[in-house]
Structure formats: structure tokens, C-alpha cells
Amino acid sequence: MTRPVMSPDPESGKNDISNPLDNPLDAVRVSSAGAPLTTNQGVRVDDTDNSLTVGERGPSLLEDFHLREKITHFDHERIPERVVHARGFGAHGYFEPTVSMADYTVADFLAEPGRRTPVFVRFSTVVGSRGSADTVRDVRGFAVKFYTREGNFDLVGNNMPVFFIQDGIKFPDFVHAVKPEPHNEVPQASTAHDTLWDFVSLTPESMHMMMWALSDRAIPRSYRMMQGFGVHTFRLVGPQGRSHFVKFHWKPVLGTHSLVWDEAQKLAGKDPDFNRRDLWEAIEAGHPAEYELGVQLVPEQDASAFDFDLLDPTKIIPEETVPVRTIGKLTLNRNTDNFFAETEQVAFHIGNLVRGIDVTDDPLLQARMFSYLDTQLIRLGGPNFHELPVNRSHVEIHNNQRDGYGRQRIDTGRASYHPSSLDGGGATPAGADNGGYQHHPEHLVGNKIRKRPDSFADHYSQATLFWNSMSEPERQHIVDAAVFELGKVATTEIRERMVEHFNHVDHEFAVRVAEGLGTPSPAGPVRANHGRGSPALSQDNTAKDSVRTRRVAVLAADGLDGETLTTVKAGLTDAGASVDVVAAHGGAVATDAGGQASVDRIASTVASVMYDAVLVPGGEPAVQELLGEGDAIHFVNEAFKHGKALAAVGAGVELFRRAQLSPVRLAADGEGLVVDAGVVTTGQGASVSSGGDGRDQFLAAFVAAVAAHRHWQRANVPVPA
Ligand code: HDE
């Protein structure tokens, strides 16, 4: 086995050979802290700031090997970004089964409750290039590499359970259409342009996926609050070769939550790293990202029991038809040491399968079986990318593959072929009974043809199912998104074709979009809406019971009510939220009782879109100062517009009035707790800081309002933000 090393001993400058560790990454992690600077050949460098020149002002010399090595390495630092999913962010963790799946699969890592398998996960957007913003409207990748005791298993999924196309041969067409247009490379990381919608309008099979892409799912609040799906139907193969079809689901423990489109666009400018920063900071703060792994199992013989084809990746199995059984938990609890070495160099492949898990004949999946290995050859420069630390299997590799660019390990012996009688016969196949991977012996007969099956022909019923399952605010968001996207499409015929497709999904939906676009409304429905829904599809029905890792901004100025701040901050922090005191200047603000409260963020460096909730603690002088700051009023307006929880105490309520929130009921002077549409207020003189019931009730009401995530009841209250 290769024994990668290298932690330099600062004393001797020599490399100390450490023991190979379980995790190959641990063995190659290098700290240069305090070490003498060397060239790549290990020669100590005397000076790295001045080139070797003839005299102080003369030309540089070619013989300056240190200069040449330093610049040459720099010149070659970039590798091609991923052709799709270029923008991503990764973290380490582990997977733990909660039940044994030994009856259904011989996969070792699913057999024993509690047995941990290390994982690396990379989340991504699809369309944008490496430096694009996190919060664009897009599908999110959710790729998991399990380093199991029987080799690496990659579950390369997305945060939406279906896909745009049914057959992988169309993938290059789809990706060319969705990427920036080729003549001017505009727009970056956006689906709102002619070529994408032209393709979609001519590709009805994408209609179900487009409903997801137009919905709130396309703008997740956090990678930690987003579902993941294997998308395709896979196979679990159990003892005696018994096979079940399976759909994989990741369900975030914190629930599935989204941003608002206006917020997402503003974040793309104010904090383009919003999603990666969120994951990084949560893990650093000791809040791991957690997801349950669920499976929908369909016995082989029931494969044709549905009104769609299990092999069609544009279809879901509604959870109400086949329940999702929870079988394990994924915990991401360690950030990377080095973005490039880990997140950029990780190479996922849908064909990285382990015993007990197999693919099906889904034609999208079949094409992916080719693409992932192929793309790494150019992206990572040759066939040895499996030797990169993040890609290494945690079990030993033995085979007769040799050589190639960047080969790291030194294979000893003479025989690099099979069969051989030298070197003890070399590595020999294990056979099925000794842990060898066996493909499921599916019985197949057929003619060689290019033809989509009739069972793949219904492109609208599940798009309708999705529409039917949405709450009214979710539907409005879909309509708004469609108007936004198609509003940016210049070609009238494309808009009209899309309205026609929407009319196949649901008549009312098509009419609402047509109204927004100002295109002719379809005269009547072309298909009767089947009326079926799946409550599990609505984010209205997700977990809303926790404020863990939610971010609350406290608007502060000199003279603020310090006791309220202390009390509410402690309550929120105890519940797992993080609280930032935001003020016009850094340092500290004076409290009304003569104390000080330290400022966490200077107002000009943040915006309400970076927070889940806002608190204005009161204290007359502080509120007077805030009332004079347009930015403070805007902060409140914007948070209100985005449906976030807001709370104010005493004089602070005046800021809400000035921010024109009064269509919502606010506490009058002397009035106790008032809660309306996620706005929690307590009037002047009814302080929450003196302890007792008032305080507990205020805190409980605010915590509940933050946990609810968003308050759509106020969607129609016009606020200037
Ligand atoms: Fe991918 N996809 N894909 N894809 N995909 C890639 O592989 C491809 C598809 C997904 O974080 C590429 O290493 C084809 C579905 C994720 O590194 C490439 C088809 C789903 C990631 C590729 C699909 C995905 C990729 C680009 C249609 C959800 C990011 C770089 C047949 C189930 C992985 C790379 C990471 C990346 C090809 C469709 C998910 C080119 C040909 C469906 C999460 O190989």
C-alpha cells in the first residue's frame, strides 16, 4: 500500500514518516507552520522576495531556479472547472445506519446500526462557473462519497428528485442551452434567457423538472436545510441475489427551507458565498449538518404497479404511495483543510458502486455511467486521479493498472498482468462468494433500436401533481418565477410555447403566467387537472420546530435597553440561534443602565438578507438614533418583505411603525405581548427584561416566529424595500 507522508519536522527540516492512518487524508495533511522554506526539491531557500539579478538594478538571471520553479508552478495552478456543477462546497463527516438493511442488501456499510462510514460531501450549483454566486435559481448537487470497508460508493444526487431529460444523449444539448449563451457568454449562472427556455419549450419531458426549478426548492436557505435525492431508481441486491428497486432520499433534520427570490438576488451581490459560508460557519460553531437517509423500496415483481415507468427519471414515486423508510443518518462535522485539494479535486462517479447496490436501465443513468469517469480524465489530467487523497479508497487497491500521468505509488514486482505465475500470481479476482462485486443478472432480450418507450410518454401528470401539492404562497412563487424567467426571454414565440405547456400542467397556472407576461391567455384547459396531490412535496409540511443555527440581527445604538438585549440574546442562544449586535459603528454601544454591549457587525458590512430574524430591543435614545438612519428602517422593511420574524420591545416598536409595518398589529404603549404574522411586539412600559411571565412569553413567541421560517400572510402588505 502507498504510504503517503510528510509532516516536516521544524527542527531538522526533514520529513517525518508518520503511520498510515485510517483516513488517507490524515496521512498527507501538511502544516508548514514555522518550517524552513524550501524548493520542491527540498533545498532551503535563502530569499524568496528578490530575484537573482546582475547588480541591484540589472536583468534577472535564467539560472535563478527558485524564481523559475515558483513562477512555473504558479502558471500551472489552474485546472479546468467542472463542465457542470463547477461551483461547489464540501465537508467531511460520517454515515451511520439506524437499522440493519441486511435483508435487502449485502452492502456492508448498511448492515449494522451504529457502524460509522466516513464520507465526503460536495454541494454545488449546476449552471454557474466556479466564481459564480451561491444563491442563483438552480438545481443543487448533493454528491456523497462513502469510504466503505468494501470500497467507495458515490451517491451523486441533486436537491430535486427528477431531471430535465429522460435520456443522457440529450445532456450536452440541455447543458449547452442552459449555460451562458455562446456568442457573448451572458447570462452567468442563470436560467432566465432565451436558449434555455427555447430548449425547454421544445422538450416537454422537462416540464416536471421545470416546476421544481421554478419553485422555492431552487433557492435553498442553506445546504443544511435542503433535501437530496438519488433521482434514478437504483437496485438493492440482497442475500440470494433478491433485488428491490430503490429511490434514495436525504432529509435534513432542520427541515427544508428556502430563500425568497428578491432576497436570493440581493444576496448574490451582498454575499455571493452565502451558502458556503453558512455551512462552514455552522460546522465551525459545532453545529453539524444532519440528514436522514431514507429509501423507498419496491420489490422487483411490483415494478409495473405504477402509472409511470420506474426507469423514467422525470418521475417520482409519491411518498404517500411508497413511504420513505429512514435507514440511517449523515452527519457533516468537519470542514476541509484545503479547498482545492479536497473540494476541487474530489471526483465523483455514479459507477462507484459497492456490492449490494446496482444500477438500473434508466437511460439517463446509463449515460452517466460513462460520463463521470470520462470527465475526470481531462479535469484531473489523466487516469490516476483515484490516487488523490480525497478520492482514495480506505481499503487497499490491488490490480494490474500501471503508469500514466502523476502515478504516485510504486508497484513492486514483475507481473502486471493476469494470469501470471510470477510474483505469487499477483492479485487474483475474489469471485462472487468472497466479496466480489456481482452485477445483478437481469434477463434482457431486445432489438437494437433508438426509441423511447411509450411508458415514458406522459410529461405532464406529475408536473400537475407538483402544482396541486403546493400551498398558495408556493404557487405564487412559481408563477412569479415563471414571469421573471420568461420575462427575460426576448423571443415571443418561446414565451407563448411555454404558456401552452403550462396550460397542459394546469389552466389556472397558465392564465396567471400569461397575465404576468402580457401574452394571450389560453382559452381553456387542454387537459383536465387530475386533482391528485402529494403533501410531502410542499415545504409547508416540513419541520419548523427549531431555531438551531438561525441568525438573528439586533439593531443597536447608544442607549439601548441592555437588559432586554441580554435576556433575549441568552434565550435565543440557549435555543441554538446565533445573535449579532449590529450598529452603525464597531466596538461597543452604551446601554441605558450605563453598561456596554459589544458590537458584532458594523451595519455597512451586513444586510437583512443575511439574517433570519430581526430584534429591536428598545431604549429611547437608541431608537431615536435608529429612526434617523434610513438604513435601519430599510433593514426592518426588507426583513418584513421577505417574511422573516421581527420583534421589538418598548420604544423599538416605533421603528416598526416608521417602517410602515402597521397593517400588521403592533403593541400600543402599555400593551403586553402582541403577535401578528410573525411580528412580535411588547409596548412601552411592558418590559420583557424584568423577568417572569412577560419575558418568557415574549421569548417563546419570538422563538416560535423564527422557527416558523417565513410568514407569508404579509405577502400583500406593501413595504418600501
Ligand atoms: Fe451529472 N455530471 N450528469 N447529474 N452531476 C457531473 O461530473 C452528467 C445528472 C451531478 O460535486 C460531471 O465530475 C450526465 C443527474 C452532481 O463533483 C459530468 C448526465 C444528476 C455533480 C456529469 C448528468 C447529476 C455532477 C461534471 C445525464 C442528479 C457534481 C463534473 C446523463 C441525480 C459532482 C463531474 C461534484 C457532475 C455528467 C445528469 C448530479 C460531466 C452526462 C440526473 C451532483 O460527468
Is the CB of 212 within 6 Å of ligand 1? no
Q: Which residues are annotated as a binding site for heme?
A: 82, 122, 171, 368, 372, 379
Work out the average pLDDT over 321-341: 98
Same domain, 615 and 505: no
Can you give the pLDDT at residue 3?
35
In a domain, 430, yes or no: no
How far apart, in whole angstroms, are the C-alpha atoms of residue 130 and residue 84? 10
Residue 583, SS3?
strand
Same domain, 122 and 260: yes
What is the secondary structure of 623-660 as a DSSP string? Answer: HHHHHT-HHHHHHHHHHHHTT-EEEEETTHHHHHHHTT
CA angle 389, 391, 395 (to 5 degrees): 85
Atom of ligand 1 nearest to the CA of 313: 42
In a domain, 408, yes or no: no
Is the CB of 709 within 6 Å of ligand 1? no
Domain boundary among 541, 569, 591: 541
Same domain, 235 and 319: yes
Same domain, 499 and 643: no
* pLDDT(164) > 50: yes
Domain boundary among 366, 391, 416: 391
Task: Quote the ligand 1 centre to 306 CA distance (angstroms).
Answer: 27
Is there a cis peptide before residue 617, judged by omega within 30 degrees of 0?
no
Q: For residue 34, which phi and psi values (nearest 5 degrees)?
A: 75, 0
How far apart, in whole angstroms, are the C-alpha atoms of residue 206 and residue 498? 11
Handedness of CA 663, 667, 668, 669 (dihedral sign): negative
Same domain, 266 and 196: yes
CB 470, CB 538: distance < 8 Å: yes
Same domain, 353 and 260: yes
pLDDT per position as a tens digit, 428-468: 998 888 999 999 999 999 999 999 999 999 999 999 999 99
Top-confidence residue, 22 or 641? 641
How many structural domains are present in the chain?
3
Work out the average pLDDT over 87-99: 98
Is the CB of 85 within 6 Å of ligand 1? yes
Q: Atom 20 of ligand 1 has which residue's CA nearest to it? A: 157
Q: β-strand 645-649 against 613-616: which pairing, if any?
A: parallel
List the CATH number of the domain containing 592.
Answer: 3.40.50.880
Residue 236, SS3?
strand
Q: What is the mean pLDDT of the chain?
A: 94
Q: What percent of the chain has pLDDT over 70?
A: 96
Of 23-32, 154-163, 284-293, 589-598, minimum mean pLDDT range = 23-32
Same domain, 499 and 583: no
Task: Quote the ligand 1 centre to 323 CA distance (angstroms).
Answer: 27
In a domain, 412, yes or no: no
Which residue matches cell numbers 408563477?
Answer: 479
Domain that holds residue 669: 551-714
* pLDDT(15) > 70: no
How far apart, in whole angstroms, are the C-alpha atoms of residue 31 and residue 209? 45
What would the 3-class secondary structure string for 330-369 be? EEEEEECCCHHHHHHCCCCCCCCCCCCEECCCCHHHHHHH
Closest among 617, 623, 529 to 572, alpha carbons compared:
617
Same domain, 189 and 235: yes
Q: Atom 19 of ligand 1 has which residue's CA nearest to it? A: 368
Same domain, 199 and 313: yes
List the CATH number of the domain containing 387.
Answer: 2.40.180.10
Is the CB of 363 within 6 Å of ligand 1? no
CB 271, CB 277: distance < 8 Å: yes
Q: What is the pTM of this model?
A: 0.95
How far apart, in whole angstroms, are the C-alpha atoms of residue 390 and residue 120? 8
Same domain, 150 and 229: yes
Establish whether 541 is a catalytic residue: no
pLDDT per position as a tens digit, 47-76: 999 999 999 999 999 999 999 999 999 999
In a domain, 43, yes or no: no
Closest among 271, 253, 267, 449 to 363, alpha carbons compared:
449
In a domain, 407, yes or no: no
pLDDT per position as a tens digit, 592-623: 999 999 999 999 999 999 999 999 999 999 99
In a domain, 105, yes or no: yes
CB 224, CB 254: distance < 8 Å: yes
Same domain, 341 and 282: yes
How far apart, in whole angstroms, are the C-alpha atoms of residue 695 and residue 706? 17
Domain boundary among 511, 541, 571: 541
List the CATH number of the domain containing 513.
Answer: 1.20.1370.20
Establish whether 711 is a catalytic residue: no
Is the CB of 84 within 6 Å of ligand 1? yes
User: Which residues are paired to 145 by β-bridges?
Assistant: 120, 154
Is there a cis peptide before residue 419, judged by omega within 30 degrees of 0?
yes
In a domain, 202, yes or no: yes
Element (H, E) at 141: strand 140-148
In a domain, 350, yes or no: yes
CB 225, CB 254: distance < 8 Å: yes
Q: Which of 175, 233, 250, 368 to mutate to test the pocket of ligand 1 (most atoms within 8 A of CB)?
A: 368
Whole-number CA gyration radius for the chain: 29
Same domain, 203 and 67: yes
Q: Atom 28 of ligand 1 has which residue's CA nearest to it? A: 157
Is the CB of 137 within 6 Å of ligand 1? no
Q: Which of 349, 371, 373, 386 to mutate to test the pocket of ligand 1 (most atoms within 8 A of CB)?
A: 371
Is the CB of 145 within 6 Å of ligand 1? no
